[in-house]
Structure 1
Amino acid sequence: MGTETIQVGLGERSYPIVIGSGVLDTVGAALAEARIGRRWAIITDDVVGPLYGGRLVDLLGAAGIDCELITFAHGEASKHLGTIGTLASELAERGLDRGDAVFALGGGVVGDMAGFLASIYLRGIPFVQVPTSLLAQVDSSVGGKTGVDLDQGKNLVGTFYQPRAVFIDTDVLRTLPEAEFRGGMGEVIKYGASIDSDFFAFLERERPAIERLEPAAIVPMIRRCCELKASVVERDEREGGLRRILNFGHTIGHAVEAASGYRLIHGFAVAIGMRAVAELALRGGVAGAEVVAAITAMLEAYGLPTTIPPELDRAQIRRYLQADKKSIGGRVFFVLPEA
């Protein structure tokens, strides 16, 4: 299968999303042609770095691109301002200037942090995304949200800062742990449950092929997620209204994730959040029982949790809900499914 390209239309800040098998091997030539930066800082973590960091350095080098590989400890525990300070000091120590650029190689944490770093280092230098987790490929690498966590909650410090390009290589999903793949499916199901009922039916129909990572199912699945995300971002880049639909399941999900001390991975927390808001919609008369049943059945079919773990402190979850970055005037907003 060849590659496919989706354009995120944001005027002068528009950028391509390139999707397909073997895309990683094309990145060096693409960046050499685009001339986005003279030198590149490849930001990755200590899990993805050993898998793909050296290969990427070689690919960029073969294209005549000078680059530096910088790693940090993997996981949500590193997603804080202290790590950003350390990474910024690394860039300064290595002499990166405004003619240089940042390369985000990794999952959602790496992409959020590398994007945030690029947005504030020297008041902004270019960056590109090469997402290596399903969650990052279908969601967090597209749309320009960057940021870090605080003790008070998830993603409370950040920026809207668009990448210059996103390169999605579906081959890298074969090194992804099963739990991370299933967590990514939580974000995939979000699109079908909140925006596109035909896509929801596709996920139900193609589940065996998706779980086997068959390209004929995986590539269209990722492409559709990116198309839906791009169409929303183009109309509401800074989440003034419409883009809130992409937070389906996230308000409760973020609170549950934080209350777990980030032991519960993001996609699992979002799955729990989707089931919870579906129940809220049922109680409020917005959606029928069949909607709750369909969402729950889909989540469970893909091996995702649908209930809040009993050991989590409910009062702490409520406190995190009140601190949610989307709250205004103390009011918490939920995205609800409709019948």
Structure 2
Amino acid sequence: MVQQVEVKLPQKEYPIYIENGLLAQTGTLVKKQWPKVQQVALISDSNVTPLYAEKVRLQLVQAGFQVYLYTVTAGEAAKSLGVVASLYDELLGDGFTRSAGVIALGGGVVGDLAGFVASTFMRGLAFIQIPTSLLAQVDSSVGGKTAVDLPAGKNLVGTFYQPDAVLIDPDTLTTLSQRYLVEGYAEVVKMAAIASADFWQLIAQIQSVAAILTHANALIQASVTFKAKIVMADEKEAGLRQILNFGHTFGHAVEAGANGALAHGEAVSIGMVTLTQCFEHAGLSPVGMTAKLRQQLVAVGLPVTSDLIGQPDFYTRIAKDKKNRGGRVNLIYLKAIGEPTVYPLDLTQLPEFVTQNLLAVK
């Protein structure tokens, strides 16, 4: 049975469909959303194209669409202005007009890239997300954030551009490597930590990598429902949506400093634990909160520490993060599970805060 979550925003409403085997319904579901669209740009990457692109393409062709497949090299490097320009050229060469649509088939990188292309080409094309990684299914495909990277940092050029639909097939998780399945689970832990005690009870069942797949539908449903609720309350990250950055301020800086050695979810795992350790030592998070997070993450093999934290470049990267405003950074900490709180801190005070509450107590 198809599970459906509705995202209702002032300017747009769209469905998120979740069901095992949903890829086999792609043509029907896309036609329902796009009755007048004829041309479709199916954007994927070199990992996902061999697995799912032909199946999705045939579904779309059978539904009456003219489909063009564009495959980018897998990896974060695809999120660049150079790749965007190449895709613009291909769309122009294939005669795409403003009445066309773009479908992202892949993980978070493909979703961010394709969404950015859809939002900017000819001032905006129709857009649908088909996320194939756990990270994309529970987080990046929902909420309308699109972006590409600059040499100075991740996601520094982007738009808010809501999709017309999100199609989630948990069966695609069976072709993920263990590492990237686990990476996505880090974002599930983040969602549970900031959402509620009930969600945390759900993830407490996950004590092995195999359990992630066993409970995938429930984890995806809970994550998507929670994120949709936050996005509906704060579409453009003016206030409440900031809580979704729990672990990301430190995580983004560690990820960039690792030069590709850490996946996004691995960096977020490190960010959540080290930041919580800071706030627990400072007396703002309750005693035992760090251990609770660490136990859940270590159970599936996620990293929770990094020697990059506290290095000079670590603070430089945080200072360049797009989330900083007016020389201040809003750190998210937990008063309790399900009680995230914003802690504004002057960037000049951050090194002392980290040294006193993390580095000096190791």
- The offset of 1:45, in angstroms, is 0.5
1:335 aligns with 2:332: yes
- Deviation of the 1:208 alpha carbon: 4.9
The residue that corresponds to 2:15 in the other structure is: 16
Show the counterpart of 2:284.
286
Match of 2:234 among 236, 244, 258: 236
Distance 1:206 1:282, change over 3 A: closer
Report the equivalent of 2:356.
none
User: Mapping of 1:189-338 within 5 angstroms?
Assistant: 189-208=189-208, 211=211, 213-214=213-214, 217-308=215-306, 310=307, 314-338=311-335
- Match of 1:280, SS state, is helix
Structure 1: which 5+ residue stretches go unaligned? none
Q: 1:174 maps to what in 2? A: 174
Contact 1:36–1:101 (Cα < 8 Å) also in 2? no
Task: Say if 1:210 and 1:218, in contact at 8 Å, map to a contact too.
Answer: no
Q: CA, structure 1 residues 300+206, in 2 after alignment: closer, same or farther (shift >3 Å)? A: closer
Note the C-alpha offset of 1:206.
4.4
Q: Give 1:94 shift.
A: 0.6
Aligned length: 335
* Deviation for aligned residue 1:289: 2.3
2:358 aligned residue = none
Paired with 1:279 and 1:212, the residues of 2 have a C-alpha distance of 26
In 2, distance between residues paired with 1:282 and 1:36? 55
Offset at 1:98? 0.6
Q: Output the CA distance in 2 between the equivalents of 1:154 and 1:12.
A: 28
User: The residue matched to 1:232 in structure 2 has which SS?
Assistant: helix
Amino acid at match of 2:13: S
- Distance in 1, Cα, partners of 2:206 & 2:309: 34
Q: Residues 33, 166 of structure 1: CA spacing in aligned structure 2 closer, same or farther, 3 A cutoff?
A: same
Uncovered stretches (5+) of structure 2, i.e. residues with no partner: 337-362
Change (3 A) 1:206 1:258: closer
Q: How high is the sequence identity, in percent, across the aligned residues?
A: 43
Alignment correspondent of 2:28: 29
Q: Distance in 2 between matches of 1:312 and 1:284?
A: 17
**Distance change in 2, residues 1:212/1:305 (3 Å):** closer
Q: Is the 8 A contact 2:39 2:67 kept in 1?
A: yes
Question: Is the 1:6–1:16 contact (alpha carbons within 8 Å) kept by the matching residues of 2?
Answer: yes
Residue 69 (structure 1) aligns with: 69
Q: Post-superposition shift, 1:313?
A: 8.2
Show CA shifts across 1:88-109 (max 9, x none).
Answer: 1111111110110100000000
The equivalent residue for 1:88 is 88
SS in 2 for 1:263: coil
3-state SS, counterpart of residue 204 of structure 2:
helix
1:238 alignment partner AA: K
Within 1, Cα distance between the matches of 2:164 and 2:177? Answer: 28
2:353 corresponding residue in structure 1: none
Structure 1 residue 36 displacement after superposition? 5.7
Partners of 1:43 and 1:105 within 8 A in 2: yes
The range that moved more, 29-38 or 153-162, is 29-38
CA distance in 1, matches of 2:152, 2:206: 40
Alignment root-mean-square deviation, CA: 1.5
Question: Equivalent residue of 1:336, what SS?
Answer: strand
